[in-house]
Structure 1
């Protein structure tokens, strides 16, 4: 299974903000530190804000901060929100699969997808930034 770029970016934004050490980086600063386009970061930040996982303040002294809910958020829930809960394969798309009425693969892939999410459910954002990741992430984000 491969995560969407927006899912990967959302997880990295949450991790970056989890180690922000009192600072409130802007969306632009976060995008630059992760070497991603600002527009992509802005879309992801808006969705994370809508989910209540981060707070964005505008203007002088503004920036991004992780909410308390963001610190304890389940990685599985974040991945589900960004990936959606659709099937891994599109059996009934523009060219429907001729096996769709009697295929066992679709169910097996669905169970595998749920197992993937279930593995991530108990992991929180705070867990992801425990040492050695958090200190390394802080060091990278401070680099010129």
Structure 2
């Protein structure tokens, strides 16, 4: 199964905000950090805010923050919300499948899709940013690899 770009961005925004600490990045900051169009990310942010997973404040001192509900949100529930409840295949489309009334594939694909979502249900946003992911996310958002400054890293003192 392949996630929609919208779903991918929603998960990445939640992960980014989960490691933000006290910082409140703006939608533009997050869009620039992810190298995605601001207008597209703004739609994702609006949906996450509507779901109560993030807060978005405008103006001076504004920015994005993850709510407690967002921190403990089930990854499966977020993916379901963004992916929608549609079937994996479109059996009813402009050219309906002639096997539609007796097809066994559609049900099998629906069960596989539900198994995919169910495997994500126990995971929370907080779970998916646990070490070492959280440290890497912080570095990416600042434009550095935080592992370089960790003891035991492969970097030597004379490397740039």
1:93 lines up with 2:117 in the alignment: no
Question: How many angstroms apart in 1 are the aligned matches of 2:56 and 2:87?
Answer: 33
Q: Shift in Å at residue 21 of structure 1? A: 1.5
Question: How many angstroms apart in 1 are the aligned matches of 2:17 and 2:40?
Answer: 17
After the TM superposition, which segments of 4 or more aligned residues of structure 1 sit over 2 Å from their partners?
none
**SS at 1:106 equivalent:** helix
Q: Which residue number corresponds to residue 114 of structure 2?
A: 114
Q: Which residue number corresponds to residue 149 of structure 2?
A: none
Q: Shift in Å at residue 143 of structure 1? A: 1.1
**SS at 1:48 equivalent:** helix
Question: How many angstroms apart in 2 are the aligned matches of 1:3 and 1:40?
Answer: 16
1:107-127 deviations in Å (ceiling 9; x for gaps)? 000000000000000000000
Q: Shift in Å at residue 129 of structure 1? A: 0.3
Question: How many angstroms apart in 1 are the aligned matches of 2:66 and 2:114?
Answer: 27
TM-score normalised per structure 2 = 0.89
TM-score normalised per structure 1 = 0.99
Question: How many angstroms apart in 2 are the aligned matches of 1:35 and 1:77?
Answer: 26
Higher RCO (C-alpha 8 Å, min separation 6): 1
Q: Which residue number corresponds to residue 139 of structure 1?
A: 139
Q: Which residue number corresponds to residue 30 of structure 1?
A: 30
**SS at 2:102 equivalent:** coil
RMSD: 0.7
Question: How many angstroms apart in 2 are the aligned matches of 1:102 and 1:27?
Answer: 48
Question: How many angstroms apart in 2 are the aligned matches of 1:88 and 1:128?
Answer: 25
Question: How many angstroms apart in 1 are the aligned matches of 2:40 and 2:73?
Answer: 22
Question: Which of structures 1 and 2 has the bigger CA Rg?
Answer: 2
1:20 lines up with 2:16 in the alignment: no
1:12-55 deviations in Å (ceiling 9; x for gaps)? 00000000021000000000000000011100000000000000
